[in-house]
Structure 1
Amino acid sequence: MKRRLFLKNTALTASSIAFLSSSSWAKLKADRLRTAHIGLGGMGMADLDSISSHKLVDVTALCDVDANNLAAANKLHKGAKAFTDYRKLFDEIGKSIDAVIVSTPDHTHAPASVMAMQMGKPVYCQKPLTHHVSEARAMRKLAEDNKLVTQMGIQIHSWNQYRGTVELIQSGIIGKVNTVRAWSNKNWGYDGPAPTGSDPVPSTLDWNLWLGTAPERAYKEGLYHPGNWRKMLDYGCGTLGDMGVHIFDTPYTALALDVPKTVTTSCRKPTGFGHPEKNVVTYEFPATKFTTDNFKWVWYDGVDAPDSHEELAMPGNDKLPSQGAMFIGEKGRLLLPHIDYPKLIVEGKYEKVDFPDLPKADHYHQFVDACLGKDKTSAPFSYAARLTEAILLGVVANRFPDQTLNWNNKGQKFDEAAANKLLEVPYRKF
């Protein structure tokens, strides 16, 4: 079938996605939303629970390559049809679903989402939106050209403490911002060698389908599935691609940023297999009305992150949170801990913050209501793709330690030819 050529033709790369005309797409006319859920592991089950909690949702299809995950989800939604291959799901009951939720490992986000969007389906896709820069650009174009409802699964984007922080920064509470320092002490990196040999594939796992479009590798117990794929170049985006999406999100929105001009990373030499366990990534972004002319962004990750810096000094004996961001402005600093409210610091002391009184918003229900024509999403792919691209340029830079990479936004490539080879990869036929 034509819509399956995206995955079946091994010559295709992420940037060569063919777009269907909008006239060929089904339009949602029902007053309820029939959903298909692809990926039912830890985050997938959370997404399933949250989407299905909307009173107008009917869970119609479930898909996972792990029979245990699929059985657990099917037990909760007995009326849903179960699949191990999302391509078969679309082929068999594509006309019976209205929206698709993609909660797979990063490398399957774009293949599954694009196939759904090519059928005219709204898509809720977990973060980071894609595994490669070319995929982010392609998904944004597909969604925008055909006016599809989309949402990236960055749930805290809708939380009051983050929406309120955007308002505070844009109100000028610390003046124009010259630097953001953001960090996570998580370690989604792997500095060891690539494994050798293979282990028996569990009878409950379809390893070929788990690999999907990624290069073929032998199965190793406990290394990829279910929990460590984020550490590996072929499947995840490291700590920067995982927690960076959350922690970058509010400053990125508040400062109205686009993609960076340059990216420089300090980390260990590339191994060709795992993401580095410790990174310091420095971005230079074009100025906006909320930043100074020479605005920069510094990201730290790893168990000891962040590195000590005077701009991160806390009042009294307070310690920095384990994850968060510090805005440094002309009139003071604003600390935004991960999963907490901001703290204003002026001349080394805390100052009272008059926090905006905002209505509550449910990120998941917002997507459902938007599909039904009753709301708009706050993190559509038009936004999510730009945020993801900025982050993924830093992930690429991890392969070129201590070298400044210059990004040409208009040409959609680096000035450094070697780095451009990592913006997209051929898809494996599976």
Structure 2
Amino acid sequence: MKRRTFIQSSTALAATLMLPGCATSRGGSKDRLRTAHIGLGYQGTEDMRAIASHPAVDVVALCDVDSKLLTAAHAKHPQAKTFVDYRTMLREMGDEIDAVIVATPDHTHAPASLMAMEMDKPVYCQKPLAHHVSEAREMARVAREKKLVTQMGIQVHSFYDYRLATQLIQSGIVGKVHTVRAWSPKNWGYNGPAPTTSDPIPAGLDWNLWLGTAPERKYVEGRYHPSNWRQIVDYGCGTLGDMGVHIFDTPYNALQLDVPRTVMNECRPPTGYGFPENNLVTYEFPSTPFTADSLKWVWYDGPGAPAEHPELALPNGEELPDQGAVFVGEKGRLLLPHFMQEPRMIVDGAYQDITSEIAAAAQALQLGTPIRNYETESPKHYHQFVDACLGKGTCSAPFSYSARLTEVILLGTVAGRFPGQTLHWNAGSGRFDEEEANTYLEGNYRKV
């Protein structure tokens, strides 16, 4: 099923499910928010915990294709109704749900979110926002036209050090930025062949629904569900779609970037099954008020990342943080470790004292004292979504922003299909100049 058919069918389906009262779920004067949760694996459970920690939330519906995960979640919220198929949940409980939280594998983000949004439900969707560029653009369009509250699950977007770094960069601490280098040695790739055997589907797992709109494939123990799906091109987005979203977020936001003009991925030849275990992706972005005439962005991932480069050298021979980013500007470099560490300024090979600049930035944003505790800080991003649904604020990572960030990420994964080749992106048309690359901008959706 091509993109247009997918979009038309999902819209038509949602339209048939409209129920009186759905429109009130956009937010406003209500005192409580009734949430439905799709996907209850590790991240889905964390999302549920954080959302439910808001005093105004009632968890009313739970959905997962794995009965073990569903049972465990239901034990925490026994008053919630349980479902295996999110479509059934939305159809039967449309007027009892105010907002939907999506934490499925990447390939189901768009189908589930779009159905919910077409029913006028605010959506909190895990990162990356979508599996294909066409999906990300469609999700942004629907959210915009329906004026829905939306948020992508990049919790660190709301953390102290990332907001601080954004303020420092925009205040001109390193001047105009000409290069960003970012990295993660995490390996969500797989260089091996596709399996030729299969295993019995575990009791309690609806494998057909897990596959969803993705191509049909035999179940293999430990290869897909519950955790290794990120490695596989049909379901995940590799390391770029996992850590890349988090680490790209602050430089992307701070520099007010849009989408790139070009992208190239230096990696092994594509297999059509797993993502490369190492990627070196280079983007070129048009200028913004905070960059030079153009911006070069280099991403390194996989075992051993990043490769050595003078712009990544730290004073006194120090090792780089395990993950992070460096802004390279006309006045020096700003190192931003990932995560919960203060940014550090480097000029002429030496660290600079930027205590006063950090104090000024923190005061400007009213950040208060740094709190570097994930358990206490993570819920803030979720609570921001809940409050926005209740008409008490706005979201910092709505789909209008996160769809563009996701598009950047996904262009890098598409470039992995054409190693060493520079692809030219037309933001207006949403197409590459290289026609062969456009094949990978949308999915061939299976009917379920």
What TM-score, normalized to structure 1? 0.95
Offset of residue 241 of structure 1: 1.0
Q: 1:268 to 1:15 in 2, by over 3 A?
A: farther
Q: Which aligned pairs between 1:119-268 and structure 2 lie closer than 5 A?
A: 119-268=119-268
Letter in structure 2 aligned against 1:180: V
CA contact (8 A) 1:10 1:429 kept: no
**SS at the partner of 1:214?**
coil
Encode CA deviations 1:313-349: one digit per residue, 9 max, x unaligned. Answer: 0000210011100100000000001012211111111
Q: State which drifts further: 243-252 or 341-350.
A: 341-350
CA contact (8 A) 2:184 2:300 kept: yes
**C-alpha distance in structure 2 between counterparts of 1:221 and 1:16, whole Å:** 33
**Consecutive unaligned residues in structure 1, runs of 5 or more:** 1-6
4+ aligned runs moved over 3 Å, structure 1: 13-25, 358-361
Match of 2:23 among 16, 21, 26: 26
Does 2:421 correspond to 1:397? no
**C-alpha distance in structure 2 between counterparts of 1:87 and 1:23, whole Å:** 14
RMSD after superposition: 1.8
Offset of residue 14 of structure 1: 5.0
Offset of residue 398 of structure 1: 0.5
Offset of residue 303 of structure 1: 1.1
Q: Which aligned pairs between 1:54-65 and structure 2 lie closer than 5 A?
A: 54-65=54-65
Q: 1:406 to 1:10 in 2, by over 3 A?
A: closer
**SS at the partner of 1:229?**
helix
**C-alpha distance in structure 1 between counterparts of 2:216 and 2:204, whole Å:** 19
**SS at the partner of 1:378?**
coil
The count of corresponding residues between Structure 1 and Structure 2 is 423
Offset of residue 359 of structure 1: 3.3
Letter in structure 2 aligned against 1:145: E
Encode CA deviations 1:158-182: one digit per residue, 9 max, x unaligned. Answer: 0010011000000000000000000
**SS at the partner of 1:264?**
strand
CA contact (8 A) 1:14 1:134 kept: no
CA contact (8 A) 2:19 2:94 kept: no
Q: 1:379 to 1:41 in 2, by over 3 A?
A: same
**C-alpha distance in structure 2 between counterparts of 1:115 and 1:220, whole Å:** 29
Does 2:432 correspond to 1:414? yes
Q: Which residue of 2 aligns with 1:3?
A: none
Higher relative helix content: 2
Does 2:303 correspond to 1:320? no
**C-alpha distance in structure 1 between counterparts of 2:3 and 2:428, whole Å:** 28
**C-alpha distance in structure 2 between counterparts of 1:131 and 1:274, whole Å:** 14
**SS at the partner of 2:367?**
coil
**SS at the partner of 1:321?**
coil
Letter in structure 2 aligned against 1:57: V
**Consecutive unaligned residues in structure 2, runs of 5 or more:** 369-376
Q: Which residue of 1 aligns with 2:390?
A: 372
Q: Which residue of 1 aligns with 2:400?
A: 382
CA contact (8 A) 2:34 2:98 kept: yes
CA contact (8 A) 1:179 1:327 kept: yes
Letter in structure 2 aligned against 1:236: G
Q: 1:11 to 1:138 in 2, by over 3 A?
A: closer
Letter in structure 2 aligned against 1:102: V
What TM-score, normalized to structure 2? 0.92
**C-alpha distance in structure 2 between counterparts of 1:16 and 1:204, whole Å:** 29
Q: Which aligned pairs between 1:33-44 and structure 2 lie closer than 5 A?
A: 33-44=33-44
Match of 2:5 among 5, 8, 12: 12
Q: Which aligned pairs between 1:276-291 and structure 2 lie closer than 5 A?
A: 276-291=276-291
**C-alpha distance in structure 2 between counterparts of 1:16 and 1:260, whole Å:** 31
Q: 1:198 to 1:278 in 2, by over 3 A?
A: same
CA contact (8 A) 1:130 1:136 kept: yes
**SS at the partner of 1:426?**
coil
Q: Which residue of 1 aligns with 2:275?
A: 275
CA contact (8 A) 2:3 2:134 kept: no
Offset of residue 23 of structure 1: 11
Encode CA deviations 1:28-55: one digit per residue, 9 max, x unaligned. Answer: 3531000000000000010000000000
Q: State which drifts further: 49-58 or 65-74.
A: 65-74
Match of 2:367 among 336, 359, 367: 359
Q: Which residue of 1 aligns with 2:110?
A: 110
Offset of residue 294 of structure 1: 2.8
CA contact (8 A) 2:10 2:111 kept: no
